[in-house]
Structure formats: structure tokens, C-alpha cells
Amino acid sequence: MNATKHITFSPARIAAIASNTLLELVRLKVFYFMLIFALLLIGSSAFMVRFTFQQQFQVLKDVSLGAMSIFTWLLATLSTAMLLPKDIEDRTLYTILAKPVPRLEYLLGKLLGVLAMLAIALVFMSALFLVVLYWREQIVLAETARTTAPEELDAALREVRGLTFNINLLPGIGFIYLKAAVVAAMTLLLSTFASSWIFTVIVSVMMYVIGHVQPIAREYWLGAIPGGTVASPVLKILLGLIAVVFPDFQLFNLVDDIVVGNAVSAVMFMKTAGLGFGYVFIYTLVGYLMFANKEL
């Protein structure tokens, strides 16, 4: 008689698959991406000495948050795209699904493994970014203290501090993560029916691009911008469908506003976070429905 008793839905099984996926990505050395990020950060800092301190902090935040957004997107797309096809090609999927493992748990385990890897990568990049930001701030503060008259010093130091760390950076980084999570769930869905990982990557990139341009197209066709046109009812339905299938990735770019000093309202934060989690849930659910009926 076998040594275990089957549990219909087991978080322990999902955790085992997730930690194995994370280990796979770690041993595939995906974190080498981080070195490029570090070099980019240090390199951009070296060019800043000629700028005013306002420009320095602006460029540092722009470069760092932009690079974080691109790297997490690349990591999410490339690492997720290869997971399923590789397991099928190596027949490891057969050995896993021939055990008492429901397909939903396998898929969730894979997704959570990628999300854990993205979280580690983003925490590392954020820490590096904040350290460099703090380091530049200390340099500018010392310089300001040296060159500013005593009666104006307090105001000058406050201005410098106001331009560096801003608590709104944290939700901004959160949105970068959420955007990458949506991309990972979307790519995983694609890989459940794609014939190869290259196809998955190409379609995922296309969906990412469409997700960024669709709000502009929507506004143009719905006459919301000057020079735009008013769409026919059929086109409106089509635009509605595109808006449902392809997430509006521009919504997650709140970090651009945060960099220029704008705060994100609690309502906006909740709405965007809800949208992100909603897309992750829907993509995972559809991915499961595709995978549940897949002939292996």
C-alpha cells in the first residue's frame, strides 16, 4: 500500500513545485541579469557629475526604475516561456503528472516559482537603487552644506532630501512587480497551447506591445483625443474585446508620475492593484482550462 494519502488541493505540493521552479531558475543563472542592472546603475551615476543635483536625482530614478521595469519584464517573459515546453520535451511533465498531482497545482507551482524569482530580483534591484540614491544624496548634502549660506542651509537641505527618497517610490516599485506578474501569467497561459517556447515569447512580446499602445488607439478611435475619429459600433465592440484580452499596461506605468514627484492616490492604487491581480487570476484560470484538456 502506498505511503501517502491523497489530498485534493495541497499547498505543500504547490510549494514543492514552486520551490523547485525557483531553484531551476536560480541554477539556470537568470540572476546574472542583476549584474547588468548593477553596471547600468553605477555607469549612469558616473555620467551625472555634470548635472545639477535636481537633474541627477531625476535621471537616477528614471534610469533605475525604467531598467527595473524592463528587466522584470524580460525575466518574466523568458523564464516563464521555457518552463512548460522544457518539461514536456524532457518528459519530466509525464513523471510529475503521473503522480497524484492535479494539473492546477502544477501550473500554480510553476507560476509561483516565477513570481518568487521576480520578487527576489526586484528586491535586489530596489535595494541597489536605494543604496545608490542614498549615496548620491549624501554627496549632494555634503556639497550643499559646504556651499550654502547658514541662513539658507535648512531650506536647501530639505529641498535635496525632498528630491531623493519619496515614500511613493514603494508603490511604484510594487506596480513594476504587478506588471511583471501579469506578463508571467499571460506568458504561462500562452505556453499551455503554444507549440514552442519561441512562439510563446514572440506572442507574449506582441501582447505586451499591444497592451501598451491599445489605450492610445482606443482614445483615438473613440474620439477622445483631438484629430481622432468616432468609431462605428462594430469597431467599438472590437476595441472593447481588445481591451478585455490585452491588459492596459500603461495603467501600471504610474511610476513615471511618481518619478516626477506626483503622489498616487489610494483609490488609484487600489484600482490598479485590483486590475493587476484580476488579470493574473483570469490568465491563470484560462491557462488551467487550456492545460486541463491538453493531450500530453
Partner 1 sequence: MPDPAISIHNVTKTYPIPFRKEIVVAVKNLSLDVEPGQVYGLLGPNGSGKSTTMKIVLGLVRPTSGKTEIFGRSSTEVESREDVGFLPENPYFYKFLTGEETIQFYGKICGLSGAKLRERTKELLALVGLENAAKRRIGGYSKGMLQRIGLAQALVQEPRLLVLDEPTAGVDPAGSREIRDLILDFKKRGLTVLLCSHLLSQVQEICDRIGILHEGVLVREGRLDELISIQNQTELILENASPELLAVIAREASAGGARLVEQRKPQTTLEQYFLDVTGGRK
- What residue ranges bind partner 1 (CB under 8 A)? 1-7, 10, 12-13, 16-17, 20, 23-24, 27-28, 90-92, 94-102, 293, 295-296
Residues 6+ apart with CB under 8 A from 9: 102, 104, 105
Judged by beta carbon, residue 103 or residue 236, the one nearer partner 1 is 103
Judged by beta carbon, residue 1 or residue 155, the one nearer partner 1 is 1
For residue 81, the minimal CB distance to partner 1 (Å) is 18
Q: In angstroms, rounded to a whole number, what is the distance separating the alpha carbons of residues 87 and 110?
A: 11
Q: CA distances (Å), 264 to each of 102, 114, 152, in order?
A: 41, 28, 31
For residue 116, the minimal CB distance to partner 1 (Å) is 16
* Amino acid code (one letter) for 195: S
Other beta carbons within 10 angstroms of residue 46's beta carbon come to: 7
For residue 105, the minimal CB distance to partner 1 (Å) is 8
Judged by beta carbon, residue 98 or residue 149, the one nearer partner 1 is 98
Q: In angstroms, rounded to a whole number, what is the distance separating the alpha carbons of residues 126 and 115?
A: 16
For residue 13, the minimal CB distance to partner 1 (Å) is 5
Q: Answer whether 141's CB lies under 8 Å from 65's CB.
A: no
Q: Measured between alpha carbons, how far apart are the two ends of the chain, in Å?
A: 28
Judged by beta carbon, residue 78 or residue 245, the one nearer partner 1 is 78
For residue 30, the minimal CB distance to partner 1 (Å) is 12
φ, ψ (nearest 5 deg) of residue 17: -70, -40
Q: In angstroms, rounded to a whole number, what is the distance separating the alpha carbons of residues 98 and 86?
A: 17
Judged by beta carbon, residue 7 or residue 263, the one nearer partner 1 is 7
